[in-house]
A and B are shown apart, each in its own frame.
Chain A
């Protein structure tokens, strides 16, 4: 047993050393990325000083052309939208951004019905967002706190195992640092070129809107906290529900909640969910959830005009 204990201890010791070395190398590589999803978060959290910040999921990253909004408003714009990111991510990054500087506007693009329980696996969705935040958790305290609130084990794992936060990222980090392959972003905006394939999209694939879910109080709480944090720093918040290819009316209970908050905190809601200028316009969409470049140009113009 003694021999076994010695060998296991030795193995653990070597592993700890290896983890520290690999962790340091990976951390260095992480912040050297020049494009890709993580790059957008790095820009948002560490470098961007834009007057207008756009936050949200892949819909935000594909829907808002930073240059177009810049031209209309005369203000600098950065699109911080990122695949699969929702209110949990936004709630974590906003306080950190506000600690660094104060933008004039923060536009939050949301899928309103995602604020319902049952529209998707809320914890699973939070887990995805936590993984995206994990590489920043050891460096940025507000992010650490936010992830800890919903995934306490994750932050401890990331704290004590240095490689953990970079799990599964090594390939994309190499790709985004040493090659030009992958997502191409222009001030965070990621264009989608082609039009929707109407032979495939005959009806909505997602059935979340057929459910009868109740409100997810956690998501609303996070949203309210974000608005409060912005208003405390004098940042104007604009909430945008960007367009869908198929008609997706906002649930009444969700709408009522957003209206209540909008009145209480005096922020505008730009609702394009059932806008007939977009719905079923195959030339404007890439798929049922995402606008293509043409659609993005149209929406960005509209957003730019509103801000102006």
Chain B
């Protein structure tokens, strides 16, 4: 299938730092593509170049096989990481302003319902909660009924409840078979929403693929977590590799029975034991040797 968006050898050199260092990938139609990485990995710069609001030092971005142009601006929906709206406008007026900037698009009332903004439709957009503002910005991004939707860290700073509401909304939009490009530093969010992810670090893509496939490729084990205080004895004497992670101990193993027997042999209480599958945070650690949220 012909990709909707194609990024080729993108480089962005700032005076002090090479923010994007030769990035290439392509996004198929109807796919939710996640660009992951820690703060400062180059995600936002990459996305801004793809949105046409930042110029690359070299490389190119193609929309439907063409360089970004008037057609792209008319057909793309964009939610920036930080966006100020015009002061003194209500939610409905803000939406109406953007609706008029496009030749065709969705009905403003329909968007207000879709993004659960009915309660605040007449409120000044400066008086919205974080979650409400993100939903308004999403509604604005959808105002032209976009072929491709860019969401740059849409849930950063939201409380868990608001984040889950936002995820439900994105899933509803995904169900319309829209192409979505999402950047996030929440691995859980990427796992929950994205069909394909690319992990970025220091301006480069270090892994790309479906989340579950990436995990299967890199891990064949699970993680046993125990409180540090429940574990007696010398970690070095334990027959399996141990990882001290804060006040917890993590044991990675493909053979859970063997690990449990070893723990029981040493009289370790299993009351607080947790077994979890490998997640994208582990993958990032594995790939870079660094914690994601540092």
- The answer to whether A and B belong to the same complex is no
Interface residues of A (CB under 8 A from B): none
Interface residues of B (CB under 8 A from A): none
